[in-house]
């Protein structure tokens, strides 16, 4: 039985939600293993739009187990709101269908405040975060002062944990000119939210390993994208978690052998939200057109996404780092009608050619993309459900991408709708 990990292979928003939703029909368990409600995953099912931040995209199917693993950072108030909103759309969520790891760190209001205060300081500090407290919460996790789901179950522990966090945060807040945290009010609101979260709390590592032994199919849903990975991304313009495939095991409590197939989600061009390097970024009409046709506005913050040509150098690199076995290429339809398409095949830095993105920021700043041109197509690929529906030029474009990134296309997506998807290789059967 194969277990599949879905990871974003660019800077996020590649269409992971749509692909996870589609694949979840074949899965029994769908698990988030990193990130938090900085993620915005969009599903369109029969015209109805679902936007998920913290919940795994499998929840809408019903009859599946959705899991929030220990590698995630969880805002309890946001989770309760998200569950209510998704229930409004007719989705059933119960402790039988949703499980939250007991050792998941909690994002508290002061994490968001700190995140936003830092971002507001000046342009040197700014990362362009989602302002949702993701970074500060992960800092507290490794700083051994975070409050975890299980701590909500005992008042004495909760007080101890809060005091531990406040020693650090009140000192930091003083330096930033923020008021000290109101300890009693914080404890009160934690006690109030506790039962709502604790009903889903469980030893996820145990449930996951039992599911595996029972031959259940597990689908791991990554958030963000590999170029936002805290180690391998465009540091410091990254998120604060590891987002690459190896994290699926650590972030749920399974061995690395639990992963059989890594599916990289790749947009047919490139986008990025927030600050940081972007070698193929376009500031011209083509960039404008990609943004308009692709409706490139952030799901979480509503910010305009930066757009550019497909960068094969970066995707080859991220596919290697995650051990991607096949990609799902999304938003091909957005390229309909372009006369000419460009693909970045290498970088020129100080007159030398590179086939990867070097780590040093000063070197990255000098990158000049080397492009290859390909003829576009005038026909519509929107809603195509088989290879036969694709124009020859579109097929050539896809084949060229496969060649350049050294990875085959397993799936192709041609619209936001669930069923406008072409399956080439079933990741669960490969």
Single out the residue of 5, 10, 11, 17 in contact with ligand GDP (rule: CB under 6 A).
Answer: 17
Q: What's the min distance (Å) between Cβ of 142 and ligand IMO?
A: 15
Whether the bond between 286 and the residue before it is cis, its omega within 30 degrees of 0, is: no
Is residue 299 close enough to count as binding Mg ion by CB under 5 A? yes
Question: How far is it, in rounded angstroms, from Cα 80 to Cα 166?
Answer: 25
Q: Is 426 a catalytic residue?
A: no
212 vs 293 by CB, closer to Mg ion:
293
Q: Is 168 a catalytic residue?
A: no
Listed ranges 13-21, 167-175, 344-352, 365-373: which one lies at the site for ligand GDP (CB under 6 A): 13-21
From the list 13, 115, 229, 311, the catalytic residue is: 13
Which residues between 285 and 304 bind ligand GDP (CB under 6 A)?
A: 299
Tell which residue, 117, 100, 114, 205, has the closest CA to residue 153: 100
Single out the residue of 6, 18, 251, 407 in contact with ligand GDP (rule: CB under 6 A).
Answer: 18
From the list 37, 64, 111, 141, the catalytic residue is: 141
Is residue 32 close enough to count as binding ligand GDP by CB under 6 A? no
Single out the residue of 3, 7, 9, 13 in contact with Mg ion (rule: CB under 5 A).
Answer: 13
Q: What's the min distance (Å) between Cβ of 299 and ligand GDP?
A: 4
Tell which residue, 364, 356, 271, has the closest CA to residue 320: 356
Q: Is the distance from CB of 304 to CB of 291 less than 8 angstroms? A: yes
Tell which residue, 248, 272, 244, has the closest CA to residue 259: 248
β-pair type (65-68, 48-52)? unpaired
Question: How far is it, in rounded angstroms, from Cα 59 to Cα 210?
Answer: 20
Q: What's the min distance (Å) between Cβ of 41 and ligand IMO?
A: 6
DSSP 122-157: -TTT-----SSSHHHHHHHHHTT---BGGGGG-HHH
Q: Is the distance from CB of 41 to CB of 16 less than 8 angstroms? A: yes
Q: Do the annotations mark residue 414 as ligand-binding?
A: yes
Q: Is 141 a catalytic residue?
A: yes
Question: How far is it, in rounded angstroms, from Cα 223 to Cα 210?
Answer: 24
40 vs 136 by CB, closer to Mg ion:
40
Helix (H) / strand (E) containing 321: helix 312-322
Binding site for Mg ion (CB under 5 A): 13, 40, 299
Provide the annotated binding site for substrate: 299-305
Binding site for ligand GDP (CB under 6 A): 8, 12-18, 40-42, 44, 299, 330-331, 333-334, 413-416
Catalytic residues: 13, 41, 141
């Amino acid at each position: 039985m194969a277990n599949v990990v879905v990871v974003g292979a660019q800077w996020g928003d590649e269409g992971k939600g749509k692909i996870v939703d589609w694949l979840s029909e074949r899965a029994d368990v769908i698990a988030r293993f990193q990130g938090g409600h900085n993620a915005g995953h969009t599903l369109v099912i029969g015209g109805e739009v679902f936007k998920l931040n913290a919940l795994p995209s499998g929840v809408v199917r019903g009859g599946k187990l959705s899991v929030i693993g220990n590698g995630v950072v969880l805002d309890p108030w946001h989770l309760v709101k998200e569950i209510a909103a998704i229930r409004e759309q007719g989705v059933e969520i119960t402790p039988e269908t949703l499980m939250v790891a007991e050792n998941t760190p909690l994002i508290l209001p002061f994490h968001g405040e700190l995140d936003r205060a830092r971002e507001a300081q000046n342009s040197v500090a700014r990362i362009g975060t989602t302002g949702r407290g993701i970074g500060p919460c992960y800092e507290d996790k490794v700083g051994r002062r975070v409050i975890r789901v299980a701590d909500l179950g005992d008042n004495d522990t909760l007080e101890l944990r809060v005091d531990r966090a406040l020693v650090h945060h009140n000192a930091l807040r003083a330096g930033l000119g923020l008021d000290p945290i109101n300890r009693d009010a914080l404890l009160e609101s934690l006690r109030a939210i506790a039962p709502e979260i604790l009903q889903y709390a469980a030893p996820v590592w145990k449930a996951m390993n039992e599911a595996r032994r029972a031959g259940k199919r597990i689908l791991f849903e990554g958030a963000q994208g590999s170029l936002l990975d805290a180690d391998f991304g465009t540091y410091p313009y990254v998120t604060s978690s590891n987002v690459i495939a190896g994290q699926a095991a650590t972030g749920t409590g399974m061995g690395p052998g639990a992963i059989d197939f890594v599916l990289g989600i790749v947009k047919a061009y490139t986008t990025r939200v927030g600050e940081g390097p972007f070698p193929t970024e376009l500031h011209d009409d083509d960039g404008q057109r990609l943004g308009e046709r692709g409706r490139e506005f952030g799901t979480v913050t509503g910010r305009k996404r930066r757009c550019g040509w497909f960068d094969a150098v970066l995707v080859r690199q991220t596919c290697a780092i995650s051990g991607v076995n096949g990609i799902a290429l999304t938003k091909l339809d957005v390229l309909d009608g372009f006369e000419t398409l460009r693909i970045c095949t290498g970088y020129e830095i100080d007159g030398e050619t590179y086939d990867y993105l070097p780590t040093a920021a000063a070197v990255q700043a000098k990158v000049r993309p080397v492009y290859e041109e390909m003829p576009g197509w005038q026909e519509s690929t929107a809603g195509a459900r088989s290879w036969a529906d694709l124009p020859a030029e579109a097929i050539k474009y896809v084949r060229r991408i496969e060649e350049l990134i050294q990875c085959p296309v397993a799936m192709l997506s041609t619209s936001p709708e669930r069923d406008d998807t072409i399956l080439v290789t079933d990741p669960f059967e490969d």
